[in-house]
Amino acid sequence: MTNFSGIRVKILVALSAGASLLAGCQRPTATTTTATATRASEAAAAVNLPNPVLPGDFPDPSVAKVGNTYWATATSSNWGPAFPLLKSTNLKNWELVGHVFPEGPPAWADYYFWAPEISQEEGKTYIFYTAHKRGGNLAVGVASAARPEGPYTDHGPLVGQPVGSIDGFPMRDENGQLYLIWKEDGNSVQQPTPIWAQRLNDARTALVGEKQELFRNDPATWEGNLVEGVSMVRHGGYFYAFYAGNGCCGRGCTYATGVARAKNLLGPWEKFAQNPVLVNNDTWKCPGHGTALEHEGRWYLLHHAYQAGSQEFVGRQGVLSEFTWTDSGWPAFRGGSTPVAAEAAPPRRFTDEFEGKTLLPTWQWPIEQRPVFTLTAGRLQLSARPDHAGAALGQSTTTPAYTATTTLLNPAALPTGSRAGLAAHGDPDNVLALLTDGKKLFLTKTEKGQATVLAEAPLPASKQSVQLRLQAREGSQFTFAWSANGTSWQNLPAGGTAVDGRFLPPWDRGIRAGLLVQGPATASASFESFSLLPQP
């Protein structure tokens, strides 16, 4: 596993304080009982939550307590390394310390690394996760470690139904028998989405016995075409299943959170008549898919939601919502939606001078196109790729307005047929970039794999370095500039016209800002620094 010692302070500063394709079309509305409203009112001013507690693209967050420390992970989808590992002592300030699969995905899976569920039992940590099986469909797998930070050993897939299986969650029944709870991904083929339970062996390496359905989506209600993301707790003699319903992702999302309960794990299950219990407000949209937990006598759901001002361009951020238990035994969220702090969490500021022996763990790359790089004497040497848009390294953005800059060294030494520079990454086939081949500067747009040069300008000869800058506004409007001396900047195009980047983010991910090198694999480019800073 990668050694992260000596770099945790930088990452703590950077990160502290802080699912299936949309097919539904019903937007849920909230209703509350008198008891629910009363309990929510009593707790209204109890805790100031500086949401987002996980700023950036952290969908489907899961959390477990190990000793006095909370450990969390989240969906990484098609960005590697797969599944971040974060720790906290208070649920508000999180430190990124590594990844479940830092050296690459397990051999059985290729992409869509979704919905990891972290749990701890008998001195071992388990990650149940979803991934796409090579040559197959979505499946639920499991990995384990002697410590929450790893290293993790993968045990392969546990279940992969023909239409796909996702969102695994381990739960012991009223007799102490261990089960796996998961969703059959029927909505991907216009079918219902049952939630299943089946016994797990003690090693958690295989399912045993027969599966049994707990409940499924009701398309005539707010749930629309799906229910998913089940997280369970026991309270007051009941099993409670927190679950998400309807469309998860994108600007037209309709996600919300409901709850069901049962005396016995295998049912019968009763859905709350007042569902959904967690819905939109003016700041947070489409809340869902999280983990319920108790902290210092209070109950919370760590889940994801879109921030209204940044929406899909930043992605689904990790937020914390408090709930109480009503007299009738049902959970009631404060205000029925994610709390909005009087003073929001500060946006992330990131600077990397490439002084370490390995990349900081916040750097990401396309999971199927891991780049080749070295770090030496404060320089990052990034090898090119001839496929897709090139070799990419990116940083998750946390705000809709930001500036990213980098220094490219000795551009004149770039091999013929190669280009290097700064980019806004959606995925490998959707990129906006400011690049140079050592002779000219090019503003390029790659959309659905088709590259277009939007503007170009000559690069002065004999320059030892060139600085490149991109600025984002409203999450999707990008301007680009370059500097030969680090003080005076020239726009490209010359008029400073913004480029529309609304095409960039995939349906389940936010935009990354970072580096890009195009050309044959024998070519490489050298970078001296990179920064990603929020703007007003």
Got the DSSP string for 352-380?
A: E---SSS--TT-BEETTSPPPEEEETTEE
CA distances from 245 to 32, 178, 249, 375 (A): 18, 25, 11, 45
CA distances from 199 to 170, 173, 203, 243, 456 (A): 9, 10, 12, 20, 61
368 phi-psi bin (left φ>0, alpha ψ -120 to 50, beta other): alpha
pLDDT digits (tens, 9 = 90+) for 172-200: 999 999 999 999 999 999 999 999 999 99
Mean pLDDT, range 352-375, rounded to an integer: 97
Q: In percent, how much of the chain has pLDDT > 70?
A: 91
Is pLDDT of 97 > 80? yes
In angstroms, the CA 245 to CA 219 distance is: 10
pLDDT score at 47? 59
Helix, strand, coil content of the chain in percent (nearest 5) = 5, 50, 45
Instruction: With beta carbons less than 8 A apart as the criterion, state whether 409 and 379 touch.
Output: yes
Name the token pair of 517: 């090198």
In angstroms, the CA 482 to CA 56 distance is: 27
| Least confident range of 19-33, 37-51, 104-118, 178-192 | 19-33
Instruction: With beta carbons less than 8 A apart as the criterion, state whether 98 and 144 touch.
Output: no
**C-alpha 135 chain-centroid distance:** 25
Is pLDDT of 342 > 80? no
The amino acid present at 271, given as its one-letter code, is K
pLDDT digits (tens, 9 = 90+) for 238-260: 999 999 999 999 999 999 999 99
Instruction: With beta carbons less than 8 A apart as the criterion, state whether 364 and 394 touch.
Output: yes
Provide the β-strand partners of residue 121. Answer: 124
In angstroms, the CA 140 to CA 58 distance is: 19
pLDDT band, residue 202 (cuts 50/70/90):
very high
pLDDT score at 62? 98
Nearest to 49 by CA among 405, 244, 320: 320
Mean pLDDT, range 22-31, rounded to an integer: 34
pLDDT digits (tens, 9 = 90+) for 390-441: 999 999 999 999 999 999 999 999 999 999 999 999 999 999 999 999 999 9
| Least confident range of 29-38, 55-64, 237-246, 475-484 | 29-38
Is pLDDT of 493 > 80? yes
DSSP conformation letters of 207-251: EEEEEEEEE---TTSTTTT-EEEEEEEEETTEEEEEEEES--SST
Sheet of 165-172, strand order? 165-172, 178-184, 195-200, 207-215
Nearest to 186 by CA among 166, 170, 209, 169: 166
**CB neighbours of residue 412 within 10 Å:** 14
Q: In percent, how much of the chain has pLDDT > 90?
A: 87
Residue 518, H or E segment? strand 512-518
Mean pLDDT of the chain: 91
pLDDT band, residue 139 (cuts 50/70/90):
very high
Is pLDDT of 22 > 70? no
